[in-house]
Amino acid sequence: MSDKDLIEKDIFSKVLRAGRRTYFFDVRATKADDYYITITESKKFTEEDGSYHFKKHKIYLYKEDFASFNEILSEMTEYVINHKGEEVISERHQKDFKKEFDGTEYSNSEEPTKTSSSSYTDINFDDI
């Protein structure tokens, strides 16, 4: 086993897929067999010709910073939820956004409208 294998040995990993972004949370071991966390954001970019590439950003988080990091992250997430709620407002800016809430459909191109069950197509799978 080389020194590189000892320096960045993966111990435990989790993945969070979030649209074009993917977050990788990894517990790794140092050469001295101490643990630290890496958080990697990978974002997919698609070119006009259909090709794509990923941009990655990585944060290294060491044990001596865990408590402070966790405290500040919790404070920040609570602040956002308390001031803006849990709804993702940026989704409304996508041109194909449609969200239904309490029977009211919200869309970028129109005012909220009431939906009814008659606006849905009844499909009988025996016909297919």
Residuewise pLDDT in 10s, the chain (128 residues): 455 544 556 799 999 999 889 999 999 999 899 999 999 999 988 888 988 888 999 999 999 999 999 999 999 999 999 998 888 876 655 555 555 555 555 554 444 444 444 455 555 555 54
pLDDT of residue 57: 95
Tell me how far apart the alpha carbons of residues 110 and 94 are, in angstroms, rounded to a whole number.
Answer: 13
DSSP E strands, the chain: 9-18, 21-29, 35-46, 52-62, 98-101, 104-107, 113-114
Position 96, amino acid: D
Backbone angles phi, psi at 53, to 5 degrees: -145, 165
Tell me how far apart the alpha carbons of residues 4 and 128 are, in angstroms, rounded to a whole number.
Answer: 57
pLDDT of residue 122: 54
Q: Which residues contact 60 (CB under 8 A, 6 or more apart)?
A: 36, 37, 38
